[in-house]
Amino acid sequence: MEEKPGLRIDFVTLFPEMVLGVLEHSIPKRAESAGLVSFSAISPRQFTTDVHRTVDDSPYGGGPGMVIKIEPVAAAMAALELEEGTAVVMTDPTGDPFTQARAHELAARSRVVFLCGHYEGFDHRIEELYATHVFSIGDYVLTGGELPALAMADAMIRLLPGALGCAESLEIDSHREGILSAPQYTRPEDFQGHKVPAVLLSGNHAEIRKWRRREALLLTRDRRPDLWSQVQLSKEDRKLLGE
């Protein structure tokens, strides 16, 4: 049987070195070395023809800032030779919230391209012509789309089978079941009077499971009421919270 090739992630960015430098570390690098994922970054500046390598211009209708021009981005996209089914993700503060479910959706693709904006963003025709998804990582504005793209890519990569040293780590991740994960502890048992909860030292796995579930529910209730409003509590969950 022919082995399925790894996920390919491309970045269209004015700062290829910035993006690829981050991916040279930790889980993304290990996943790349294992053949689970490959990366490339291409700059629209490569496809400009003027002496100044101009990629932006002032917005029609007036206003502050500069807008990334469509021609160099279109040329960069053509150079990527995208296959059918490729996800093209534009990072933008106006996009849909990026979630763990979105990460799973993208990780299942064979190829994902991130369009990383800068200045006042892209000419809107770039979104209309190329983007299959427009995502935001939060209700705030960053200098460029590189950091959001890297955050999304990292969330995807760790979902690839074999990417993590311990696959069970995915089972305790926050947002896996729509709730946050319970607090974690390690040695020493007592640090300046701050002690590890006794149940975690008990060896009673059933009680540990209950404690972790209860703490996860309480943390979600207290910190993320938006998630809590959607949680479907089981009979056991209600009993744990009642305790």
**Which residues participate in catalysis according to the annotation?**
93, 120, 158, 173
Tokens 């540990």 locate to 208
Tokens read off for 211: 């404690």
Tokens read off for 35: 């053949």
Is the Cβ–Cβ distance between 224 and 230 less than 8 Å? Answer: no
Is the Cβ–Cβ distance between 12 and 44 less than 8 Å? Answer: yes
For 229, half-sphere exposure in the C-beta direction (CA atoms, 13 angstrom radius) is 3
Residues in the chain: 243
Peptide bond into 16 cis (omega under 30): no
